[in-house]
Structure 1
Amino acid sequence: MKRVFKGSNVIQPVLIIAMFLFTIFQCKGQQLKPAASGYAPVNGIKVYYEVYGEGKPIVLLHGAFYTIELNWAQLIPELSKTRKVIALEMQGHGHTPYSDRKLDIATLASDVEGVMDFLKIDSADVAGYSMGGSIAYQFAVKSPKRVKKLVIISSTYKTNGWLPVVNGGFKGFKPEFFDNTPLKTAYDAVAPDKTKWRKFIEQMIVFAGVPFDVGDANIAKIASPVLLISGDNDGLDKVELAKTYQLLGGGVAADLAPMPKSHLAIVPAQSHVGLMQQTKTILDLLNGFLQ
C-alpha cells in the first residue's frame, strides 16, 4: 500500500478515509434494492440510474471516482421513505461505461437533464456532493426550470472556491496511484468493462486539472433556494463560500431584514470525505430544508 500514498498530501487522506468508508459500506451498506434501474441514452453515451421510493423527486449527483453506493448508501434508505430518489452515475463511473467523450461540467450537467427527460421528470430537487455539486450548480444555471431546490455538499462552482492545496492535489499524480484502493474495488464490482479503469483515471486526472467557473453573475441569478453544506476543514475556501452565500442572498442581518430562502450549514470537525459519514446531520439538514 505504500505506493498508493505517494504524490499528493490532499489525495493521501482522501484514500485513507475512503478505505474506512468502504469498510462501513460493506458492513452496513445500502441493503435497499432499487425499484427501477437502467441506462438512459443521452448525448452519445448511456448513463446509469437507480430509482428508489415514491413521492417528490430528488436527484442525487455523486462525487468524483465514486459510485452511487459509495456516496449515498447511508442516505438513500432514509430519503426514499418519503421521496422518489433518482441516483445517477456519471460518465465512466460505476455502471456507466467509459467513453472517450471529453469530460466537462457543462456536458455532465446536460447528461443530468437528459436522464430526467428519459424518466419524464419535469423538475426535481437536486443534491450534489463534491464534483456532483459543481455539476448541480451548472445544471441550475443552464436549466433553472428543472430545479426546485438545490443542495450543494462540500463543493463549489469555480476552481478558486477550493483552497490552493486542493487545486494542486493532482499535479504529478499518476493513474497507478489509485490501484489497490477501495475506489478501484468499488469500480470493479459494477463497471461494465473493468479494463477501462486506467483510461477512466487518466481522463479524470485531466478533468480535475482544467479550471472551471460557472460565473458569479450566473450564481446570483439562481432563483431556486440553495442549501450549502460544508465541513469546517473540507478544503473549501471559506471566504469564497461566504461570498457564494451572499450571491445567493444570504449573509444578512435577519433581525433587520427577511430571512434568506437559501441556507448555509458548516459542520464542525469535518473533512471533505468525512462529511459524508455524518448521515444524521446531513439528513436532518436536508429534511429541514427540503420540507
Structure 2
Amino acid sequence: MFRVPQNLIVLAVVVLLLFLNPQAVAAQEDIPEYGAYAEVNGIEMYYEVQGEGEPLLLIHGAMGSTEDFAAVIPAFLDAGYQTIAFDCRGRGRSTDSGVMLSYAVMAEDTIALMDELGIETASIAGQSDGAMIGLHLAIHYPDRIDKLISYGANFNVGGLLPANIEWLESLTQADMEAMFGADYRKIAPDPDHLPVLFEQLRHMFLTQPNFTVYDLMGIEAEVLVFDGEDEDTVRIDHARQMAAAIPNSSMVILPGTGHHLMYEDPETYLEYAIPFLAGELDASPDGRYAAVNNIAMYYEIHGEGEPVLLMPSGMWSTADFADLTERLAQEFQVIVVDARGRGQSTDSGERLDFTLMADDVEAFMDALSLEAVHLVGWADSAVVGLDVAMRYPKRVDKLVAYAPNYTVDGLAEDHRAWLKSLSLDDMFSFFGEAYARTAPDPSYLPAMSERIRAMFLTEPNYTLAQLATIRSPVLILDGENDEFILREHLEEMAEAMPTAELAWLPDLGHYAPFDDPEIWTSAVLDFLNEP
C-alpha cells in the first residue's frame, strides 16, 4: 500500500488552512518567546506576557500594536508588574472577525483574554482609544479593573476637537495607505484588510464613545486622567471634565506635549504612570461633581476659611469667574459652582426657574455637608441667592446680591427689548466658543439659551413682603451706571429688607465684576468681613 509521507500531510493541512482562512498566516509569524495567541470571541488575539507581579494590561490606540509599549515595558517590569500587552482585533498580529468594531466589542475581547489567562482583576495603561476601552471596562466591569491610566481619551464624541473631526471626515484610503500601509503589512495576518479596518475605525471614532458624566460618576476604579496641553485630538477642558466626574481620579495635564507623550517622551510618561499605580501620586483635579436634583453639578473649592458659595450668572461659568474666585479665596474658602446647564454642569430638561435653581443650591450644600455659607451672586444668580435666603434662611450667613431684580419690572425696557431680539447667532457669538469648551454636551447651547431667555423675560415674581422675611445680612450692590437694572427698583428692595444695605460702585455698570474685579471684590470682602 502506497503511504504518503507524514511531513507532506502536515504541509498539505497548513496550505489548506491558509487558503480557507488567510488570516491564519498570523500563526506563522516569528514572535517573541513571550508572545502567544488566544482564541477570543471569534478572533486569534496576539498577546505578550512579561514578568511577574500585579497584572497590568497595556492597550494601544488606533492603528497601534503591542510594539507601542516597547519603551515603557522595562520600567513597568522593574516596578514589579506583570505586563500583558495585546493587539486589538484587526490590528498588529490579531485577526478580525467581521463584527462591527466598537469599544464594547473590544472591551469584551479584553475580558475574554483575562479569563483565558486566569486574571481576575488587573490595572490598565490605555493610550487614546485604548484608554476608552479602559473606561468601558471600568464602567461595565467594575469588579475586574483596579486602576486605569487614561492617556488622551475622550468619553464622548463631543470631546473631540472640531479640527480632528474634520480631519477624520476628510481622510481617504490613499491617506491611510500612506500613513499606515507599510507598517500594517509587516505583521498583519491579512495585509489586504486595511481598507475595511480604516472605514470601521473612522465610523467608530466619529460616533463613539457615548459615555455620560453620570457614567463616569459611577466608576469605582482609581483613574489617572493624563494628557498634554498641546492635544490635537481631544479638548483639554473635556479631559478636565472627565477627571472631575470620576470620584477616585487624579489628573495630570502636562505643558509642552500632546497626544503622543508615551512615544515621544516615555521617561516623562513613566514619572507619573508608575507613582499613580503605586498609590503615590498626589494630583487631584481642579473640580468635582455632586449629584444634585437629577443633575451633575460641577464645582471647585479654593482657599481656606469660612465658606463662600460663589455663583456665576447667565451663561457664565466657573472658568469665567476664575479671577474673582482667586481674589476672594485669599480670605475665604470659595466654593464656585456651575448652575444647571451652564459651564460643566448637566441639565435635566425641567422647566428652568429661580426656585428650581435655589433648590439646587440647598441640595448642593447637603451633598457637601455645608450647614451654612455666605452666598455671592450676580444678576440671575443674585436672585437665586434671594430665593435661598427666603426659603432656606438657616443656610445663609450673609448674602451679596449684585444687580438683582425681584420682578421683571426691574429690568430696563431697553434690556427687555434686547433679550427679546436676541437670535441664536447672537448667542453663539456671545457664548458659543466658551460653551463648547466646557459643556458636557456642546450641542445643548440653543436649547439652554432659549430656556434662560424665557426665564429672564417672565421671572422673578417675588413681592416686597417676601423680601421682608429675609433675616440674613444682605448687601444689595450695583454699579451706579447699570444699564440693565433700574436704580429705583434696587432702592425698593433694600428698603423692604430690614437687614439689607445698599451700595453703589462709582463709574461702573452691570459688568463691574469683569470690568473692575478689584473694586468689586473689595466691596464684597468688606461686607463679608463685617462682624
Partner of 2:343: none
Q: What TM-score does the superposition give when structure 1 sets the normalisation length?
A: 0.80
Partner of 1:39: 37
Partner of 2:82: 84
Residue of structure 1 aligned with 2:203, choices 198, 201, 206:
206
Superposition deviation, residue 35 in structure 1:
5.4
Gaps of 5+ in 2: 1-30, 279-531
Superposition deviation, residue 80 in structure 1:
1.9
Mapped to 2, the partners of 1:274 and 1:83 lie a distance apart of 21
Gaps of 5+ in 1: 1-32, 250-260
Contact 2:155 2:211 in 1 (8 A): yes
Partner of 1:14: none
Contact 1:227 1:262 in 2 (8 A): yes
Contact 2:228 2:256 in 1 (8 A): yes
Please give the secondary structure, in 1, of the residue aligned with 2:253: strand
Mapped to 1, the partners of 2:75 and 2:255 lie a distance apart of 23
Residue of structure 2 aligned with 1:266, choices 249, 253, 258:
253
Residue of structure 2 aligned with 1:72, choices 63, 69, 94:
69
Mapped to 2, the partners of 1:287 and 1:211 lie a distance apart of 29
Superposition deviation, residue 184 in structure 1:
2.5
Letter in 2 for 1:264: M
Contact 1:35 1:51 in 2 (8 A): no
Contact 2:228 2:254 in 1 (8 A): yes
Q: Does 1:51 align with 2:49?
A: yes
Partner of 1:187: 184
Contact 2:93 2:187 in 1 (8 A): yes
Mapped to 2, the partners of 1:267 and 1:275 lie a distance apart of 12
Contact 2:151 2:225 in 1 (8 A): yes
After superposition, where does 1:62-141 map in structure 2 within 5 Å? 62-69=60-67, 71-81=68-78, 82-141=80-139
Please give the secondary structure, in 2, of the residue aligned with 1:133: helix
Q: Does 1:166 align with 2:164?
A: yes
Which has the larger displacement, 262-271 or 137-146?
A: 262-271
Q: Does 1:286 align with 2:273?
A: yes
Largest Rg, 1 or 2? 2
Superposition deviation, residue 120 in structure 1:
0.4
- Identity score, percent: 28
1:55-103: per-residue Cα shift (whole Å, max 9, x none)? 111001101011111x212111221222100011111000011331100
Task: List 4+ stretches of structure 1 deviating above 4 A.
Answer: none
- Aligned Cα RMSD in Å? 1.7
Mapped to 1, the partners of 2:132 and 2:193 lie a distance apart of 25
Q: Could you say if the C-alpha distance between residues 35 and 217 of structure 1 is closer, same or farther in structure 2, counting changes exceeding 3 Å?
A: farther
Contact 1:158 1:214 in 2 (8 A): yes
Mapped to 2, the partners of 1:211 and 1:79 lie a distance apart of 30
Residue of structure 2 aligned with 1:224, choices 221, 230, 238:
221
Larger relative contact order (C-alpha < 8 A, sep ≥ 6)?
1
Mapped to 1, the partners of 2:157 and 2:230 lie a distance apart of 17
Mapped to 1, the partners of 2:243 and 2:207 lie a distance apart of 24
Contact 1:67 1:186 in 2 (8 A): no
Contact 2:159 2:235 in 1 (8 A): yes
1:185-222: per-residue Cα shift (whole Å, max 9, x none)? 32122111212222222322222232431222111111
Mapped to 2, the partners of 1:135 and 1:80 lie a distance apart of 23
Q: What TM-score does the superposition give when structure 2 sets the normalisation length?
A: 0.45
Please give the secondary structure, in 2, of the residue aligned with 1:169: helix
Mapped to 2, the partners of 1:289 and 1:189 lie a distance apart of 35
Contact 1:176 1:198 in 2 (8 A): no
Partner of 2:149: 151
